Structure 1
């Protein structure tokens, strides 16, 4: 896990403020532009059908899953299991 600045990054964990996934965590798997990102949680939002989300509706966490980031940079994709694992690991580390 690495810590990051304000710009969203691939593999970064985000808390969802709006929409169906409100109150849950997801992982950024794509950057659309400076306002939108693609998120997936490996469960309801799978890698192959990510949600396009306005960054304003997310609270970016200061954690980037290196597993997800590495997988995305090496192969351009990531397994849903890896996304679920990254979120689970983050939530456990936070002690929620």
Structure 2
């Protein structure tokens, strides 16, 4: 597996596996180094106070929010509203399929 396959992208939705926020979804807003990323969800974890998370403690999904990614690349920031919108969109589109009995195909450990 190459480095680009394993490393989460900006704007990618991930599920937190370890810690107080285990089971919740967040969005990658910054890559720190080969082991850590900054996550925010726009609700409990605002853009101004992101959570530093080890890659081994998150699971990547296939969902990358184009709105969040574009905003981060163009301005270096993203609004909390846009983060909340992206997570809600992910929940409505992807997780709704899970309720029908499908597997979450794109789910894999990020590291």
Both proteins in one fold, TM over 0.5: yes
* Higher Rg: 2
- What's the counterpart of residue 20 of structure 1? 20
- What's the counterpart of residue 64 of structure 1? 64
1:51-90 matches, within 5 Å, as 51-90=51-90
CA shift at 1:25, angstroms? 0.3
The answer (yes or no) to whether the contact 1:42–1:84 under 8 Å persists in 2 is yes
Question: Using the alignment, how far apart are the partners of 1:69 and 1:5 within structure 2?
Answer: 17
1:77 alignment partner, SS class: coil
Note the residue ranges of structure 1 that are not aligned, 5 or more in a row. none
Structure with the higher fraction of residues in helix conformation: 2
* CA deviation profile, 1:39-88 (whole Å, cap 9, x unmatched): 00001100000000001000011111000000001110000000011001
| Structure 1: 4+ residue segments shifted above 6 A | none
Give the TM-score normalised by structure 2.
0.80
